[in-house]
Chains A and B, each alone.
Chain A
């Protein structure tokens, strides 16, 4: 499969200025502090042509640095990066007609111009004939629901409307490879949903189109991306399909049951072949942990049962064993790890808490 984007040991460091080092150390000069800040440390990445690839990571993880390098705005310190088979350092001019970028929260454009005029201006720097640009602008404004604001000056738009305009800007040049950096930031639920739908359709519409998406919304990443990579502290932690990432957390199927059981001794689950882990915890000791759906007038003790099985089919024998022990199943749930679980496991904290902290 052809690679739309490929990086080999891609590294980018920034020199710390003496001024900022002095400030942070509160001393004349702190020689112990590293003089270099590693934004990207040896990233190897392959994004296939036609793929919708997601990049997840907390602030300062290196996502934006990677995108800046791939969009030819920043040179790597070492390593190689190729976009559509072209070197980002030596063939930047050949890459530029093939790419575009939409960043969340960007404030580009000219306040004195209206939405249509701004979009036209940005189409002209790609040399697109005005008649074609106008047609694409109308199509895109309709898609994002901004057609009634087409003649409104940009300075009078709300943040969300401005973001919609920026989104249109990225597509009117019909790029082969598009970089979407938090594209739904600041958008309402309906607008974000229609944009996600459009992104999917746009990618399938023409073979060869590739999309690299960074997002803070796990649901968005899971819904849209063919494959995902998680990046933190400039290092690529993992890469795979959303299901593959989730499966790394859970090798075997897990079930959670709530059962009403008179005599615990009659229940013998651990001896059933295929049961890898079995844990029975009385629930009545902690009434707060009982779910609202459970009967409150139970006369027999209630237990929570956690199971890890070799395969899903074993659950049938478990149910039989509970019934044989005259127990009553109140709740049965298969535990599915989320993408967020995978992220937390790899990065060490949730995306949102990481953002607040940084």
Chain B
């Protein structure tokens, strides 16, 4: 059927034209992911800010470990940590605080009054962020491996892929949840994002093994998907002992994925209703 025929068929139908649930799910996800993905090509300055600068920070830790004659796997930890930092920053600045910016620009009210669910918009933001940041992370990992000659000894690439995807899903699920909450806090979101950034660097053990923490602190830190995600990936890539057994960590990550996405959904519904009651959905510069 030609476009013209399809168009005239749509226009001759009674209102409203029926759009399937499936189309109202995957189209908004891809559409919202698009601005992030296209940004890789159109804003090449990211190479400097988000690839070269993190490599410098990774290099500093790597040289410290080398000077201390630490195990070579520690340099691998640092490189993996540097790559995962990119995801954490993306979740904080481009997921958690994003709905607040969307409201300021006027996009939020258009998303809310559209037939698609806000969850699809958040999922699109997450998908775009994951793809974009994966490219950045890959640049950091490649540069790190080439510079420091890190040898990867994965027990299974498939297992690594599983752990990596579960980590990303849990991490971005948490970002989706934060996005809903931060929407209500308005300008405070900026401070909260700042507040979360540094403690997570420490608690997730980005540059050192998690076992250096007391058990209680490490257990509490496990609620951050980055912590257990990185621990499991280290176990797979460098065959080093982890904080928990690998199987348990993968199950725990799966639970986090479900929990964060469910909480994001519940918070979003609750906050959308509450915002409609209080008239906060469309007020700019709250």
Contact = CB atoms under 8 A, between A and B. Distances in A.
Nearest to A206: B11
Contacts of A97: 16-17, 19, 115
A135 B62 CA distance: 55
Interface string A119-133: 011101111110110
B278 to A, nearest CB: 8
A112 interface: yes
B69 interface: no
Interface string B1-42: 001101100110011110110011001101110110011001
B43 interface: yes
Main DSSP-derived SS at the B contact region: helix
B107 interface: yes
Interface stretch (A66-74, A187-195, A274-282, A318-326): A66-74
A135 B3 contact: yes
B107 A108 contact: yes
Contacts of B27: 124-125, 127-128
A73 B115 contact: no
A125 B121 CA distance: 8
A126 B115 contact: yes
How many residues of B sit at the interface, in one of the four size bands? 35 or more
Nearest to B35: A110
A14 B279 CA distance: 8
Given A124-B31, A136-B7, A174-B17, A96 B114 contact: yes
A129 B42 CA distance: 26
A121 B32 contact: yes
Given A107-B105, A121-B34, A128-B19, A99 B113 contact: yes
B106 A108 contact: yes
B6 A98 contact: no
A75 B7 contact: no
A113 interface: yes
Given A174-B17, A206-B11, A127 B3 contact: no
A349 interface: no
Contacts of A74: 276, 279, 281-282
A75 B277 contact: yes
Contacts of A113: 34-35, 38
A107 B15 contact: no
Contacts of B34: 113, 117, 121
B223 interface: no
B90 interface: no
A22 interface: no
Contact of B15 (A96, A127, A136, A176): A176
B28 A125 contact: yes
A113 B107 CA distance: 14
B267 interface: no
A106 interface: yes
Interface residues of A, number: 44
B202 interface: no
B38 A127 contact: no
A121 B35 contact: yes
Interface in A121-176: 121-122, 124-129, 131-132, 134-136, 169, 174, 176
Given A71-B113, A74-B282, A101-B113, A129 B6 contact: yes
Residue of B32, B110, B121 with most partner-chain A CB within 10 A: B110
Interface string B46-57: 000000000000
B276 A127 contact: no
A73 B105 contact: no
A109 interface: yes
A357 B255 CA distance: 58
B115 A127 contact: yes
B111 interface: yes
A42 interface: no
Nearest to A99: B113
A132 B10 contact: yes
B116 interface: yes
A131 B28 contact: no
B188 interface: no
26 contacts: A12-B279, A72-B113, A74-B279, A75-B277, A96-B115, A97-B17, A97-B19, A101-B110, A101-B113, A107-B105, A113-B35, A113-B38, A117-B34, A121-B35, A124-B27, A124-B28, A125-B27, A125-B28, A125-B110, A125-B116, A125-B121, A131-B3, A132-B7, A135-B4, A135-B7, A208-B15
Given A68-B282, A124-B30, A135-B3, 8 more contacts: A71-B113, A72-B113, A101-B110, A103-B106, A110-B35, A113-B35, A127-B23, A169-B110
**Closest A-B pairs by Cβ, 3 of them:** A124-B31, A127-B19, A127-B23
